[in-house]
Amino acid sequence: MTRLAIALAAGAAASLVAVPSAAAEPTVGTAVYVQIRQSFAPVDGDDQCVGTSALGPVRRGSSVVLSEGGIATDSPKVAVGQFFRSRLSDGVCEALYITSAPTRPAFNVQFSGPGGELSPTFGPTPSEPVTYQPGIEQVVKVDIDLPPGP
């Protein structure tokens, strides 16, 4: 997504939700940028696309759950973020979530729909430092190419 989208996302920082941990750990503004290459549908309205099938939770009103990056999908949760926006770009559905998370080299990523439905867990997904956007210090880019389900 463009820097403008991330700039707008920084304005949503007031709605950040952090998951408490045993020892309070410093957190930083974190963007989760999702690219869905299949398993999405175009929609009219503020958003341009939503996930379908196993990615149905990727839509307005959903959350992203970040956990410790690793092979185990039941690793400890470290942050929960809110859906910010989606758009279609060159035939790909792009979604952006904003949260505050501890700095990590990688995260496992899962999406929780408005009704509590969960997506598969993706990861470990590397994070990257962000130096061009005030309020956002790391980005987690999730590139999903799941075929549409039945």
Tokens in use for 17? 């939700």
Mean pLDDT, the chain, rounded, equals 85
pLDDT surpasses 70 at 23: no
With respect to residue 56, please indicate whether it lies within any of the assigned structural domains: yes
**Domain ranges, residue 74:** 3-144
- How far apart (Å, rounded) are the C-alpha atoms in residues 102 and 29? 9
With respect to residue 63, please indicate whether it lies within any of the assigned structural domains: yes
| pLDDT at res. 84 | 96
Confidence of residue 45 (pLDDT cuts 50, 70, 90): confident
Say whether pTM exceeds 0.85.
Answer: no
Closest to 51 in 3D by CA, of 127, 135, 134, 142: 142
pLDDT surpasses 60 at 93: yes
Report how many domains make up the chain: 1
For the ranges 6-15, 40-49, 53-62, 91-100, the lowest mean pLDDT is seen at 6-15
What CA–CA distances, in Å, run from 125 to 47, 76, 107?
25, 15, 5
With respect to residue 119, please indicate whether it lies within any of the assigned structural domains: yes
CB 136 within 8 Å of CB 130: yes
Tokens in use for 74? 């039941």
